[in-house]
Chain A
């Protein structure tokens, strides 16, 4: 099958790739652009490990085709830190031990960042429902929820 040329923006950089029309955005990020931060945990949109934002909207990149990224702005976990300055969520996740194995962490961080951009003062319940699409099998979510709430509080104070 012939490949399709896609021009898009990932973490602020203009990028091009050739892909099979059957490849997902996740396949293209990982295999075409070597951005392996987003993970494939299920391939069916159930686990959220592949979470990215597309034009600011949180999506499972395994549910979107690579060709659909044409002209869009994609943000992945690799773009979260500002140079060597970590995003407050990244710092808090380390501080709170909110990760054990770390495989779900990129997706959780991308989803949590999207939450805080939409709602800087989420309740515990709102945080739990927003992150319900991100499966974590190690932590029981306790420390993840605390890290997100703590980040939100700190970011509110800073702003």
Chain B
């Protein structure tokens, strides 16, 4: 039985059935993080630092604790009767603990310093007002370039790792340098060299559902946690470490998740809720306000970048060099290395060098946001390429095609590419009616390519067949955007039973092996691969049962259209035996039939996209309107095309927000000034046009059906594509995001 034959013809894959969780989600029945309730439940609330940087001299919780409605108060220094958090943690667990509850210092505006659990949410909020905290305010820094200056306040001594060269400021905590060839020799060959400085501001993932959880932890060391997360095993592992309990004794259930985009790949409130629950001996529900989400969860890194590219008159890039400084808040982790590695990845370059810095400041710890680090670098690099095209009078798609990476190209970050689809996206862009459509006066068109690595990650899937011939699939990756539908389609394809006969469940940590987070565009790739292999595992067992019944060797049985069929010399000897016939008697023929997969798939397959944008700039107000938008991206194989399109459209819309409006604004006092959606304005329906999509399919050799992840690449090109469109419309180069009306107006008036 040739189970590993790559499929190119599909019955279910590539169709657009209704998602299995659709009914729950349009009727209000789906249970998200804040929708859970438990008997005897308390409500938690967290007190947060109003200072960007301050030593915590004293915390007096006695007045709050004296309230009748208050059942528990915790701080880091809480050693009164029970230890709230495990002492003596090291490494990343210490960093997480330090972020979820401040130790000696508050490191940013919004940093948690104490928490209470009370009989109602209002009582908990009232109690916070009675906690007295004495702060010694320290000098702060929130800007990446200032944080690297010799006189900048030190966020934390000794946070830098081995990679940082001697003599750098202690706020520089990681350093990356890579590339190949001789860039200076390359620049000497160029007919034109352009070097420019680019700046992007921090933006927030902006998921509409604030973080929420319901925690129960007893003194027996056993706990239950319900939370909205992109990955409940990492929550389990982290919370268990912070609370000092055994990992397996904490069962974590992922609620439906109201958006994540990378921002729900770590913990913020979950360990605090567990600590409160353990102290109060009651379940504790903790829900963040929107303002808490902005102030104390992970926005993106902000960036300061210098990019230099040399080009010949025919469009050949002779050398490329970039320095990318990323500000990641009060903890190590800003993806300066990712920015550097992705920046030039779309191009076949002889001479390339890139440097990335991870810099700490007094801001909340950055978190992943869709292809973390890549959009900023693409903004800088693709802007310089656009400027070179303009100055040399070259077509921006032709130039990109001329330099495009292809199979066998040595990537700017090291390895050689396998089969990739960049050229196909560029050719599709060139052929798209959008690219040749005339522009109106005041409008400009922008092009950009984008790259993301994609990820495999640890994955477990179990598939169990029922007596009636239906199947249940247990996956461990929360469904953020329709992945239950994709999993059911892939299982249906292998089993040969209808899509509707398959139920996909996001299993909790007690019912399935370890699963990495829903991140890295990995769900359809890795959980999909695992589902296919688990289904094939079940099919092998189904064939064994049929072979035994027929009394022929198992290798003389093949699986076709949901039936065991005799093949080879036995072909036609017996009628095909449907899956439901085999499962109906499975209890008597050897027991339950299930399929499993537990491994770490390594063949994620890198991903490329090309975007075309038209923008119109109002020269009186500086306001930019996106008039047309087309996303072209390689999906490898689109399992459920509607949800692939949705990923493309969503990535583009977030990119539009990042490019035009969104930014973290800090005052001189280091406090975040726009911590609600009114002031931090994400795109609304009336801001956007329809977003056209083209799904290119260049199969990924590392997936049985050819899938490449699609979740992240879609946010890489927009910043640059929109900046190029705005620059071409305005007739000047925009080098700083967001291109908000005041900034564009200042540039138009020559003050930019």
Contact = CB atoms under 8 A, between A and B. Distances in A.
Interface of A: 20, 22-23, 27, 30-31, 34-44, 46-47, 49, 76-78, 80-81, 86, 90, 93-97, 99-106, 109, 125, 127-129, 131-146
B517 to A, nearest CB: 15
Contact of B258 (A37, A101, A129, A132): A101
A31 B480 CA distance: 25
B2 interface: no
B287 to A, nearest CB: 8
Instruction: Determine the main DSSP class of B at the interface with A.
Output: loop
A78 B27 contact: yes
B207 A43 contact: no
10 contacts: A41-B290, A86-B23, A96-B642, A100-B481, A101-B257, A125-B686, A134-B684, A141-B683, A144-B685, A145-B690
Contact of A143 (B206, B646, B654): B646
Interface in B646-669: 646-647, 649-650, 652-654
A118 B685 CA distance: 19
Contacts of B261: 137
Contact of B26 (A23, A30, A99, A103): A99
A104 B646 CA distance: 15
A145 B649 CA distance: 13
Nearest to B209: A103
A42 B646 contact: no
B432 to A, nearest CB: 17
A90 B24 CA distance: 10
B197 interface: no
Interface stretch (B29-37, B457-465, B555-563): B29-37
A97 B643 contact: yes
B31 A100 contact: no
Interface in B362-406: none
Nearest to A130: B685
Given A41-B290, A101-B258, A103-B208, A142 B649 contact: yes
Given A37-B28, A103-B258, A129-B686, A135 B677 contact: yes
Given A40-B34, A102-B30, A135 B682 contact: yes
A36 B645 CA distance: 29
B733 interface: no
A82 B209 CA distance: 27
By Cβ-Cβ distance, the 6 closest A-B pairs, closest first, are A37-B28, A103-B258, A140-B653, A102-B25, A46-B677, A140-B649
Most chain A C-beta atoms within 10 Å of own C-beta, residue among B26, B34, B37: B26
Given A140-B691, A141-B688, A144-B685, A135 B26 contact: no
Size bracket of the B interface: 35 or more
Given A39-B32, A104-B208, A131-B685, A137 B650 contact: yes
Contacts of B688: 128, 140-142
Contacts of B652: 140
Given A105-B26, A142-B690, A39 B653 contact: no
B331 to A, nearest CB: 25
Contact of B28 (A78, A86, A101): A78
Instruction: Determine the main DSSP class of A at the interface with B.
Output: loop
Contacts of A22: 122
A100 B27 contact: no
A63 B580 CA distance: 54
A93 B34 CA distance: 23
Interface stretch (B14-22, B50-58, B85-93, B150-158): B14-22
B208 A139 contact: no
Contacts of B19: 94, 97
A78 B30 CA distance: 11
B259 interface: yes
Contacts of B31: 36
A44 to B, nearest CB: 5
B28 A137 contact: no
A96 B642 CA distance: 8
A99 B257 CA distance: 12
Given A23-B122, A94-B22, A103-B259, A138 B646 contact: yes
A95 B18 contact: yes
Nearest to B656: A140
A98 B149 CA distance: 48
A146 to B, nearest CB: 8
Contact of B208 (A35, A49, A77, A80): A49
B209 A39 contact: yes
Contact of A43 (B289, B647, B683, B687): B289
B605 interface: no
Interface in B255-308: 256-261, 287, 289-290
A100 B26 contact: no
B328 interface: no
Contacts of B684: 131-135
Given A77-B27, A90-B26, A99-B25, 14 more contacts: A76-B28, A81-B27, A103-B256, A106-B26, A131-B686, A132-B687, A133-B684, A135-B677, A137-B206, A137-B261, A137-B654, A140-B691, A141-B683, A143-B649
B571 interface: no
Interface in B470-485: 480-482
B209 A101 contact: yes
A55 B212 CA distance: 31
Given A77-B27, A80-B27, A95-B18, A100 B685 contact: no
A75 to B, nearest CB: 12
